């Protein structure tokens, strides 16, 4: 087992699917099948009420809400040949990050974990492009829903990129 430091503000606990709070020093210990994050509370009082159950920091809950939003959006797409094609592709890629993330949490090795996280990232990138197409054509009248989903997809992509980088160290 070995340990390394991650600068706070960029860190994300990949095994627990949680953002690491700002102002916290942390150490990650990594063995062959496990990554554990150890927190050391700082003297900063503004983070005293921090809760790991806060939905903002729960990736699984965020992916669940993202998948539900994708399903709701797909149901609103126009019932044309193009709309049905895009709806099917977006439904597949947009909802696959949630179960693939669950598979990553049950990975059998660090390499398996990284591979499954990369699958999530690949599917999110595909969803991002389908959402851009939905907005460009447009296949839906409520542009606000699509813009919100594009922004959320971009944030999730950034989270998965950092998680993969952290796991590869």
> 3-42 pLDDT, tens per residue?
444 444 445 555 555 555 544 434 444 444 444 444 333 3
Residue ranges per structural domain of the chain: 2-47, 55-168
CATH architecture of 55-168: Up-down Bundle (1.20)
d(CA 42, CA 25): 7
pTM for the structure as a whole? 0.66
Q: Is the pLDDT of residue 108 over 90?
A: yes
> 37-78 pLDDT, tens per residue?
443 333 333 334 444 344 456 899 999 999 999 999 999 998
> 111-142 pLDDT, tens per residue?
999 999 999 999 999 999 999 999 999 888 77
């Amino acid at each position: 087992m070995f340990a390394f430091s991650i600068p706070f503000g960029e860190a994300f606990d990949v095994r627990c699917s949680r953002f690491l709070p700002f102002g916290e020093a942390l150490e990650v210990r990594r063995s062959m099948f496990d990554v554990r994050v150890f927190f050391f509370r700082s003297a900063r009082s503004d983070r005293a009420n921090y809760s790991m159950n806060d939905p903002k920091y729960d990736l699984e809950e965020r992916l669940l809400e993202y998948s539900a939003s994708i399903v709701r959006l797909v149901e609103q797409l126009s019932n044309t040949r193009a709309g049905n094609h895009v709806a099917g592709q977006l439904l597949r890629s947009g909802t696959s990050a949630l179960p693939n993330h669950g598979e990553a949490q049950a990975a059998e090795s660090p390499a398996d974990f990284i591979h499954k996280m990369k699958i999530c990232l690949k599917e999110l990138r595909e969803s991002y492009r389908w959402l851009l197409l939905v907005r460009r054509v447009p296949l839906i009248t409520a542009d606000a829903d699509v813009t919100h989903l594009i922004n959320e997809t971009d944030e999730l992509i950034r989270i998965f990129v950092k998680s993969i980088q952290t796991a590869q160290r």
